[in-house]
Amino acid sequence: MPENRELGRHIIAEFLGCSSEVLNDIKALRKELIKAAERAGATIVEEAFHKFEPQGVSGIVIIGESHLSIHTWPEYGYAAVDIFTCGEYADPWKAYEELKSVLKPKYVSVMEVKRGVDIGEWSRQ
């Protein structure tokens, strides 16, 4: 691996002002997370989703390159979105854009964390 290169890219997003109905719809969220993984060019391995009572959904799509997850609080119009991809081919920002276009948040806070940066340096110690 070349010096100063990351192993993965991790998008952490806060979506506020989303539709409560969408955030509480387990079937729609499952469909959209899978679609986002496909749009990113990722290899889907497995998925798991859970609907909470009285409301809220948690879901994860495990991809060969890592994962996409969502945790929703419909009563606040809030979704915590996590997109982590490793390797050179899957693009986490494409998955992010897909989810943003579907959830239509009024406010977004997003950051990218480079994972495994300079791991070659660490492994030589």
Confirm if 13 and 72 have CB atoms less than 8 A apart.
Answer: no
Catalytic residue (choose from 10, 18, 67, 86): 86
Helix, strand or coil, per DSSP, at residue 8? strand
Q: Is 18 a catalytic residue?
A: no
Looking at the DSSP bridge assignments, the partners of residue 10 are 84, 113
93 and 6 Cβ atoms separated by less than 8 Å: no
Active-site residue 86, yes or no? yes
Residue 54 CB-density burial (10 A; 0-12 exposed, 13-18 middle, 19+ buried): exposed
| Catalytic-role residue among 10, 18, 66, 67 | 66
Residue in 20, 58, 69, 71 annotated catalytic: 71
List, by residue number, the catalytic residues: 66, 71, 86
